[in-house]
Structure 1
Amino acid sequence: MTMTVREIMLRKFKNYKYIIGEREIDPIISEKDCDEDSPFYLGRYENDKEQVYWKPIKMNGEIFNFEELEKKIGVKLWSSIKEYYQTYWFLDYIEHYIDKYGILHEVHMPAVEPGFEIKSLEYAIEDYQENTGDYSNDFIPFGYDYLTSMPIMIENSTGKVYLYEDGIEKGEFKFLCDSLEELLGQHYEEE
């Protein structure tokens, strides 16, 4: 039996001591730029203003309503996408995935921040639509491959994960894996 996104995220973040995130912290998390008062804050990394040690925070049954976003984009979102946004709050992080050809992908996973959970997904969808002219929402943007800078896309009708390569006339979707569960759970054996 395959683990769900929720089960994978719970296992992944259960014993995390800290994560290094390379970005400015959104003021929605902390009025003081992720200082000691921020729920994520663990400390600065080597006195670098842009790198901070942080910890994920488990949600306590928060359920977010995706109906307004789904109505706006005209499709129901794949269930694993919704599940991803309802397990933990966390900042951006890199997920390592080795594809069937043995190629390493460093997938920059989207953050899930308090008060900004669904908005970040909405902004990613709008950005993709504006940049490509594709308003079908057959594919939902979901992070990017850090090594190639190619966006990661989830096919909304199947849950399959693709890399989006922007071609001269029209972008191409290159298969990466069968599901978000596979992408997230490659390094987590079922117990």
Structure 2
Amino acid sequence: MDKGYQKEQFTCLSIKISIAKKYRKFCRSFGKSQSLTLLAMLDFFQVNEVSPNDRLGETISSLKHQMKRRFNAVIAIIRDIEKSQTKPTTIMLQQLFEQASGDSEEETFDFGTPELISESEELNYYRDNYFKIQSEHQAMCNDLELVLNSIKPVKGTFGSSFLKLEISKKEYQELKNRIENVYNHNSTEIG
């Protein structure tokens, strides 16, 4: 008996004998009763929104074969991209890296032998530099104080107030030269 349909009664359908034999044979191959096979067929047509009069075109096995051919075509395209684009690019990058690593190995720089000096000479060197920097700092502070003392506030007639620097062009030029001398003419002993 069919599960879920035990209490329902049977009814007769008028079907031609040749079609009934074909249907019964199909039901046996399907492994279900005639009622459940017919129900499964009706569900298939309703769910897939297909009419029994419509032809689906190709069979599933031919669709499977066509998909397999498409997959093989996609694989061929990917392999072609790998051969024509990816591998040559990889080879070129490897050659560039090999050349770059080879160049860095060839370049060596000799710093020479350092000259040894005594502790007192080293101490004198750093002490002299310290006093030199201190004097430059004091000179910069004096210049800044000169500039700050030369600034006068001016109230604008139509706009906002502003600050005016009251020094001569000669004093301005001297101040500018001293500042440039401090920042631009300090060089190391080597250069």
TM-score of the pair, normalised by structure 1:
0.17
Structure index of larger Rg: 2
TM-score of the pair, normalised by structure 2:
0.17
Whose relative contact order is higher, 1 or 2, with alpha carbons under 8 Å and at least 6 apart? 1
